[in-house]
Amino acid sequence: DSGVTQTPKHLITATGQRVTLRCSPRSGDLSVYWYQQSLDQGLQFLIQYYNGEERAKGNILERFSAQQFPDLHSELNLSSLELGDSALYFCASSPDRGRLNTEAFFGQGTRLTVV
């Protein structure tokens, strides 16, 4: 158990709908990352938050948005969903409190299926 919690584990929704994925980082971790992994593909970086503020942005679509709350949990909002958005969405957290605290710990992912 990495200590990173993602909910829900599975989500099935129709095209055009909007969903929210939730991530609770490990206790004390300041950074949260969101990644998308399509079937048999690598990890696509979407966005990073650090202590409530957006720090880095990857190939995140305009239909997607995220935020990190004061308690450091994060949500990824996906709207106007398309079939191609079906993927495994990972949240990862990292302490980022100094040189030795730089690795990312991943949640189990949310498997999103758009039908």
Partner 1 sequence: AQTVTQSQPEMSVQEAETVTLSCTYDTSESDYYLFWYKQPPSRQMILVIRQEAYKQQNATENRFSVNFQKAAKSFSLKISDSQLGDAAMYFCAYRSKTGNQFYFGTGTSLTVIP
Amino acid making up residue 57: K
Task: Identify whether the C-beta of residue 59 lies closer than 8 Å to the C-beta of residue 53.
Answer: no
CB-CB contact of 106 with 90 (8 Å): yes
Residue with Cβ nearer partner 1 (22 or 55):
55
Q: Does 49 bind partner 1 (CB under 8 A)?
A: no
Closest residue by Cα to residue 3 from 27, 23, 21, 22: 27
Q: Is 33 one of the binding residues for partner 1 (CB under 8 A)?
A: yes
Cβ nearer to partner 1, comparing 22 with 111: 111
Going by the DSSP 8-state scheme, the letter that residue 3 receives in this structure is: S
60: contact with partner 1 by CB under 8 A: no
Q: Which residues bind partner 1 (CB under 8 A)?
A: 2, 31, 33, 37, 42-43, 45, 48, 55-56, 58, 88, 90, 92, 94, 96, 99, 102-106, 108-109
